[in-house]
Chain A
Amino acid sequence: MTIDTEAATGASSGSAELDVARIRADFPILQRQVHGKPLVYLDNSATTQRPDAVIDAMSNFYRTSNANVHRGVHLLSEEATDAYEGARAKVAAFLNADSTQSVIFTRNTTESINLVAHAWARRHVRKDDEILLTVMEHHSNLVPWQLLAQERGCKLRFLDIDEAGHLQLENLNEVLNEHTRLVALTHVSNALGTVNAIPTIACAAHSVGAKVLVDGAQGVPHGPVDVQALDCDFYAYSPHKALGPLGIGVLWARRDVLEEMDPFLGGGEMIRDVTLERSTWAAVPHKFEAGTPSVADAVGLGASIDYLEGVGTAQIRQHEVKINEYLLGRLRELPWLTVYGPQDPRDRCSLASFNDNQIHAHDLGTILDQHGLAIRAGHHCAKPLMRRLGVMATARASFYIYNDLDEVDRLVEALFEARKVFGLAT
């Protein structure tokens, strides 16, 4: 499987600023009109769009190399296997993983976290042990631990945030102790945008003997990720939030940790030998990948990584900070808005979560949609965080590499329009 990297270089990786116009040309969906207006897609934290390079890589796989993997002795199966394992190698290099074998393909971040809860935690977490989470977690990094706590009688503890939406790291030593087996937290908050200080937290966690799981769903899209520099033990993410296909997820775990884990799902692909009574397991990572995997999605994931690397992950991060500076500045011009999360553009990914003091987030969502803007309105699967903020919902506009400053202006204009619809002064 070759991927057309020519087409994947939407911007030259040397230049300081992204060439947003060139990048936009790679995304066919951005040509769409919504309610007669050009689409302004600001729901990237839910899922991004995909460039032609990803769509073409997947369709080429189905057209030319489609077969099941690790099974046939025929050429197509060999090609499919190479494509699938090649994608694994790309992910490993992209995350600076300790080994290619320590990358496991799942369906999404949620499944990756559940895999750890089953295959690692059920062996290592006992009654009266503790798991430290934070109040800003997405439900997918909360509910699996609640289920475990119910089953095992372990205790969940939570690190709180301060008024600015930063984790209260000064309280870390109070919530960590020799009973802490795992610290599970998000790299970047999907509802506040806060970028968390993972290495600091990992260092404290390791000093009490706890493992560290990072929910990277919002981390990978927004800049370079080096799992070894982050010093974590598990890193989970969803490629669909970083230009990749829907339907495939990634779990990276330190090789030595993986070696001591039980299987997750049982079935084909994950066994070494099977008798009627019992089975032995395939080596890592296949031990954790039961059944036919989503090969085309893995191929698309590989293409999305090529694209991101073509653009440059450091440049992506710079673009985010540039968007943030402008976005936060413009939103501050609207005195009726409350904007949540850190004030410093460098402490957050490029999203803004906010509320109008008179108009509910759902109404904002509907009004903005009529103006062609796709935003998210609701609890962002982080209901405990909403309670902590004392709100039911927020409106969230999340930007990516194909969004530019003029779309911040479109957002602000539409927020003015919403005030007009509600007959409110501006």
Chain B
Amino acid sequence: MQGLDDLYREVILDHYRTPHGSDALENPAVKVEGFNPLCGDELVMEMSVDADGRITALHIEPNGCSISVASASMLVQQLSGKTLQEAIALKDIFKAVMRGESWPAGQDFGDLEALEGVKNFPVRVKCALLAWMTLEQALAQYDPELAGQVEADDDIEVKTH
């Protein structure tokens, strides 16, 4: 079925079956819990950052549907080793794509591009965004200066530890 094949691409199902970032971190810099009250999906995220402001490791414990798990797994895949600024930039692009915009030309977003089909299923967009909204809070918690660059989403609640 066309719509479904577009949503449940093989790479999404692969991430769902074996998500990246399953190893817990020792002494993470931040630990936050994202929660989507609309559907009950939950996500724990831990992040380690080095002295240069680079994300050295991410750990996620996703508890939700294939889209939210795959999106969280791809986030880990894309952002490990990136700077906090790069993380913010990618997060903004991903949110824009979920709102209906196209991927910026000339850049490769890897597996993440497979999530584009989600935007044709409006009720599932929140699923794809949960990990990224949780990331925003993790960044804001790590460095309050970054808080100005993240915006809260009323439908997704994030608890910090």
Give CA–CA (A423, B12) in the complex, Å: 12
Chain A residues with CB under 8 Å of B65's CB are 360-363
List residues 350-391 of chain A with CB under 8 A from any CB of chain B.
Answer: 359-363, 366-367, 370-371, 377-379, 383, 386
> Assuming the A-B contacts A378-B39, A379-B40, A423-B13, are A370 and B66 also in contact, with contact meaning beta carbons closer than 8 angstroms in the complex?
no
How many of A's residues come within 8 Å of B, CB to CB? 20
> Assuming the A-B contacts A35-B3, A386-B40, A392-B40, are A362 and B8 also in contact, with contact meaning beta carbons closer than 8 angstroms in the complex?
no
Least distance between A164 CB and chain B CB atoms (Å): 24
A421 within 8 A of B: yes
Of B3, B39, B41, which is within 8 A of A370 by CB?
Answer: B3
The answer to whether A370 touches B4, judged by C-beta atoms less than 8 angstroms apart, is yes
> Assuming the A-B contacts A362-B127, A366-B124, A386-B40, are A392 and B64 also in contact, with contact meaning beta carbons closer than 8 angstroms in the complex?
yes
Of A360, A362, A366, A392, which is within 8 A of B42 by CB?
Answer: A392
Chain A residues with CB under 8 Å of B3's CB are 35, 370
Q: Which of chain B's residues has its CB closest to A37's CB? A: B1
Least distance between B113 CB and chain A CB atoms (Å): 20
List residues 13-33 of chain A with CB under 8 A from any CB of chain B.
Answer: none
Least distance between B18 CB and chain A CB atoms (Å): 13
> Assuming the A-B contacts A370-B3, A422-B8, A423-B13, are A363 and B66 also in contact, with contact meaning beta carbons closer than 8 angstroms in the complex?
yes
Of A383, A422, A423, which is within 8 A of B40 by CB?
Answer: A383
B7 within 8 A of A: yes
A303 within 8 A of B: no
Least distance between B63 CB and chain A CB atoms (Å): 6
The answer to whether B64 touches A360, judged by C-beta atoms less than 8 angstroms apart, is yes
B1-28 CB mask vs A (1 if < 8 Å, else 0) is: 1011001101001000000000000000
Least distance between A138 CB and chain B CB atoms (Å): 15
Chain A residues with CB under 8 Å of B121's CB are 366
The answer to whether B63 touches A392, judged by C-beta atoms less than 8 angstroms apart, is yes
Chain A at the B interface: mostly helix, strand, loop or mixed? mixed
The answer to whether B64 touches A421, judged by C-beta atoms less than 8 angstroms apart, is no
Chain A residues with CB under 8 Å of B63's CB are 392
Most chain B beta-carbon contacts within 10 A, residue among A360, A361, A367, A371: A360
B67 within 8 A of A: yes
Least distance between A287 CB and chain B CB atoms (Å): 36
Chain A residues with CB under 8 Å of B39's CB are 362, 377-379, 393
The answer to whether A366 touches B40, judged by C-beta atoms less than 8 angstroms apart, is no
How many of B's residues come within 8 Å of A, CB to CB? 20
Q: Which of chain B's residues has its CB closest to A423's CB? A: B13
Chain A residues with CB under 8 Å of B8's CB are 363, 367, 421-422
List residues 106-144 of chain B with CB under 8 A from any CB of chain A.
Answer: 121, 123-124, 127
Give CA–CA (A296, B65) in the complex, Å: 41
Least distance between B110 CB and chain A CB atoms (Å): 21
Of B10, B40, B67, B124, which is within 8 A of A378 by CB?
Answer: B40
Least distance between A33 CB and chain B CB atoms (Å): 14
The answer to whether B41 touches A392, judged by C-beta atoms less than 8 angstroms apart, is yes
The answer to whether B40 touches A421, judged by C-beta atoms less than 8 angstroms apart, is no
Least distance between B82 CB and chain A CB atoms (Å): 29
> Assuming the A-B contacts A392-B40, A392-B41, are A370 and B1 also in contact, with contact meaning beta carbons closer than 8 angstroms in the complex?
yes
Least distance between A363 CB and chain B CB atoms (Å): 5
List residues 371-419 of chain A with CB under 8 A from any CB of chain B.
Answer: 371, 377-379, 383, 386, 392-393
A224-238 CB mask vs B (1 if < 8 Å, else 0) is: 000000000000000
Give CA–CA (A134, B84) in the complex, Å: 47
Least distance between B24 CB and chain A CB atoms (Å): 20
List residues 56-95 of chain B with CB under 8 A from any CB of chain A.
Answer: 63-67
The answer to whether A360 touches B4, judged by C-beta atoms less than 8 angstroms apart, is no
Give CA–CA (A275, B39) in the complex, Å: 49
Q: Which of chain B's residues has its CB closest to A383's CB? A: B40
Most chain A beta-carbon contacts within 10 A, residue among B4, B63, B66, B124: B4
Least distance between A382 CB and chain B CB atoms (Å): 11
Chain A residues in the interface with B (C-beta under 8 A): 35, 359-363, 366-367, 370-371, 377-379, 383, 386, 392-393, 421-423
Chain B residues in the interface with A (C-beta under 8 A): 1, 3-4, 7-8, 10, 13, 39-42, 63-67, 121, 123-124, 127
22 chain-A/chain-B pairs, Cβ below 8 angstroms = A35-B3, A359-B66, A360-B64, A360-B66, A361-B65, A362-B65, A363-B65, A363-B67, A366-B4, A366-B121, A366-B123, A370-B1, A370-B4, A377-B39, A379-B40, A392-B40, A392-B41, A392-B63, A393-B39, A422-B8, A422-B13, A422-B66
User: 10 nearest interchain CB pairs?
Assistant: A360-B65, A362-B65, A379-B40, A363-B65, A392-B40, A363-B66, A421-B8, A370-B4, A393-B40, A378-B39
12 additional A-B pairs beyond A362-B67, A393-B40, A422-B8, beta carbons within 8 Å, are A359-B66, A360-B66, A362-B124, A363-B65, A363-B66, A366-B123, A366-B124, A370-B4, A377-B39, A386-B40, A393-B39, A422-B13
